[in-house]
Every structure is written in C-alpha cells, then in structure tokens.
Amino acid sequence: MTEKPLVIVTRRLPELVEARMMELFNTRLSIDDSPLDKQKLIEAVKVADILVPTVTDKIDSDIINKASDKLKLIANFGNGIDHIDVDTALKKKIIVTNTPGVLTEDTADMVMSLLLAVPRKIIEGEKLIRSGLWKGWSPTHMMGRRIWGKRLGIIGMGSIGQALARRAKGFGLNIHYHNRNRLPDIIEDSLDATYWEDLDQMLPKMDILSINCPSTPETFHLLSRDRLSSLQPHAYVINTSRGKVIDEEALADMLSQSKIAGAGLDVFEREPSVSKVLLGAPNTVLLPHMGSATVEARIEMGEKVIINIQTLLNGHRPPDRILND
C-alpha cells in the first residue's frame, strides 16, 4: 500500500472535514485548537508533506526556509493569505492554495448585519433590556440613523463587495465604490453603482463606508488618520476585511471624540488584542472575526482544502493555487 502523505492541520476544523481528511491522508489534527507558536510551526514544516494553516498562523520566510524538501503544499484554510510569505514559498517550489468563493455571501451578510446594527443602536438596545434598566418607550430615546437613501461607499469591489452592493441596493442605499479597476458597465449598471477613481474624493461624500479590499502592502493603513479625518461626523465605518487596512489607533481616537458617528468591526489590527480605547468607544459594535463563521462556509472551506490536496497528489495543479503577481 502506498504510504499516505503527512498532512498537519494547525487548528480544529469541522468534524466532517476532519473525518474526511483522516480517511484520505495521514492526518495530524489539532487537539486543543490553540494557535501554534513559531517553534511548533517550524517543527511542523520540517516533517509535513502538506501544511493546513489558518489566519492565526504567521508563516513567515524564516519558517518556510526551515521547511524540509518534503513540504510541497501549504493548503490554507481561508481566503486571505496575507499571513503567509507566498514569495518565499514559491521560491522553494512550495505551492500555496486558499479557499476562494465560499465566503462571499456569508461575509456580505455580516457587513449588512453591522451596517444595520451600528446606526440603529441595536446592540445598545439589547444590552439595555438585559440590564433591567429600561423605563419604557420615549419619543427621543435610543434614536439612531436611517440607512434608506444614504450613500454607501465600498472600498474593494470584488465578489464580496458586489454581494454587499446587491444587498444594500435592496435596502435603498445608493452604491458608490472605489476599486483598482472599474467594473464592466453591465455589472455597474445592474448595481446602480457610481465609480470613484480617486478614493480621497469619495470619502467625504459617504454616509457609510465598508472596507472589503484584501490586506496587501499597498492597502496597509489605506484608511489613514488623514483619510479618516475627511469623513463626515455622521459617517459610519464597517470593516470585515483585515484590521491592518485601517489605522486602528486613529479610528479609536475619532470614535472616542465623536468625530465620526460609529463603527462596526469584525477584524482588528493586532488580533486577538483590541485597543482599550476602541473597547470603550461609543456606538461601536465589535465582533471576534466571525464574518465567515457559518457551518456551511466552514465545511465548504474544508472541502476546498481537500480538493487542493487531492489534486496535487493526483499529479495536477491545485485549482486554488496562488501565483505571483
């Protein structure tokens, strides 16, 4: 019998996915679901044929350069690959794959959830009920902001940005977007979307801003202190992309000083650490990176990981391999 490849999985995955991986490969599963530290990651790449990391694993050049020649594939469980030094991996002829396409609808749903929760003070209202301090209805109590008719600026009009635009259009929002490339007319027209080539011109005109671009060196602090300062005081910021796209310290300062109206954040610059200023900021909904946290999405992510591994073992190029730009 041909020896099965050693597949090391760094975190707990859905039971269905783990069971299938155990059937197909010589799989070493995570026992306690704790993120691996650097030394344990180095130990893993020295013996594994295939590594299955997640966003919590920083696979830098130092780790990759210590990998044995056995390591042929880093099959990331997730879409974003900013935690992996892809260039170094490819130089060592290690293929890197991700799980695109299966997170789109769930992440767009999460953006809409935050987009509704923050302006309408839903979390504050729920906490008030549980506190037992609610004194009854009042004409001026818990007044939020209407979203119908407001301008939504989407930064990053890929699949998630477009899925968000489709939902937001149904809620009566006017869709605006900034993207590296303008969308084809047929897509732009279907979304009634207005394109802004210049981000700095778009920002002051928006009522709600949603960050949906990937984390790259070019998008680090794309929303800098200066750009955040250009937003209107009634504007809201939603981020389900990556924390590093926003200058988190500047955002926290502006929220605490009421220079912008509120924020809904599912990602943070130094996860899992969150700024104390941000934790105390008013009208802010903070979530623990759960944009893709649906049963369906996580199982489909696992299925994509398995397909990428199996395709490589069958002597073919994995469908979701990452290539150099």
User: Which residues are known catalytic residues?
Assistant: 242, 271, 289
* The amino acid at 77: F
CB burial of residue 256 (10 Å; 0-12, 13-18, 19+): middle
* The amino acid at 146: R
Q: Which of 107, 103, 98 is nearest to 304 (CA)?
A: 98
- Rounded (5°) CA angle 159-163-166: 140
- 6 contacts 31 by C-beta, under 8 angstroms: no
Integer Cα distance of 71 and 50 in angstroms: 6
How far, CA to CA in Å, does 206 sit from each of 65, 155, 194, 203? 45, 11, 12, 6
Both tokens assigned to 283: 């009208």
7, β-bridge pairs: 27, 50
Both tokens assigned to 238: 């939603």
How many residues in the chain?
Answer: 325
Integer Cα distance of 304 and 296 in angstroms: 12
Q: Which of 81, 231, 93 is nearest to 155 (CA)?
A: 231
